[in-house]
Chain A
Amino acid sequence: MIWSLDIAMLFFLVVAALAAISVKDLLSAVIILSLYSLIMAIVWVELRAVDVAFTEASVGAGITTVLFIFALVRTTGRSED
């Protein structure tokens, strides 16, 4: 356990969560949400839950981001790039 790393990661976690719900562009929100998942994975490793961190990194930062992005593509259309 590294206390300074924990404090910094939890601070960035809250910042990322607030940014994800306050940003206007939906694509930016999805990217910030994947950043949130990545920080959360580091926090899980700090909490000695490596298995959960693995799931968080692969599902939260990987698959979910891809699915959100393609759901956005299908709902807003390709022309508004």
Chain B
Amino acid sequence: MKEEDVIIRTVIRLIVPFIQIFGLYVIFHGGSGPGGGFQGGVILAASMILYVMAFGVTGGRRKLTEKTNMIMRSTGVLIFSGIGLLAILFGGKYLDYGAVPLPFIHHAAEVRALLIDGGVEVGIGITVMAVMVTIFLEFYPGGTSDD
């Protein structure tokens, strides 16, 4: 599919960074307010989908290559399960955040909040974003390599 006209391209180029900032806000405030890794990841994926709709698959692939997308898909799961296994390693249960000893932070509640907002939610967000972009490119004409 060819590129859209100049108004659509300019507006989308302007609006995409703001959507991504909002997506990151939703991810990092998932523990203390509405939102979370899934919703933030979907919003990040929506920004990427907008970009692909304006600049075509080739333009989108310049920003997020297939290899990067594949790495991100598995990195999120690795972050999630890695933090869970870290808790087992330090003598807690799976995803028992309070058991992980972090440097300079001694309250279990603070460790829990930091690991949820900065670790697990980020992992979920990365995976959801990459998977949503992959599903979208499967549907998009010319998005996959096999047709």
Number of residues on chain A facing chain B (CB within 8 A): 16
* Cβ-defined contact, B46 with A63, below 8 A: yes
A76 to chain B, nearest CB (A): 12
**Could you tell me which residues of chain B, from 9 to 63, have a CB within 8 Å of some CB in chain A?**
26, 34-36, 38-39, 42-43, 45-46, 49
Residue total for B at the interface (Cβ-Cβ under 8 A): 17
Main secondary structure of the interface of B (DSSP, over half): helix
Interchain CA distance A12-B31 in the complex, whole Å: 33
Q: Is the CB of A58 within 8 A of B139?
A: no
Known: A55-B39, A63-B42, A71-B139. A50 touches B34 (CB 8 A): yes
Interface residues of A in 66-80 (CB under 8 A from B): 66-67, 70-71, 73-74, 78
Cβ–Cβ contact B43 & A58, under 8 A:
yes
CA gap between A63 and B46 in the complex, in Å: 7
Min Cβ gap A77→B in Å is 10
CA distance A50 to B132 in the complex (A): 22
Taking a contact as CB atoms under 8 Å apart, the answer to whether A62 and B139 are in contact is: no
What residue in chain B is nearest A68 (Cβ atoms)? Answer: B139
Q: Are A54 and B39 in contact (CB under 8 A)?
A: yes
> Is B136 an interface residue, CB under 8 A from the partner?
yes
A1 and B136 alpha carbons, distance in the complex (Å): 37
Q: Which residue of B lies closest to A70 (CB)?
A: B139
B26 proximity list for chain A (CB < 8 A):
54
Can you list 12 A-B pairs, Cβ within 8 angstroms, ordered by A?
A: A50-B34, A51-B36, A51-B39, A54-B35, A55-B39, A55-B42, A58-B43, A62-B46, A63-B49, A67-B135, A70-B141, A71-B139
Knowing that A55-B38, A55-B42, A58-B46 touch, tell me 17 more A-B residue pairs with CB under 8 angstroms: A51-B35, A51-B36, A51-B39, A54-B26, A54-B39, A58-B39, A58-B42, A58-B43, A59-B42, A62-B42, A63-B45, A63-B46, A63-B49, A63-B136, A67-B136, A70-B141, A74-B139
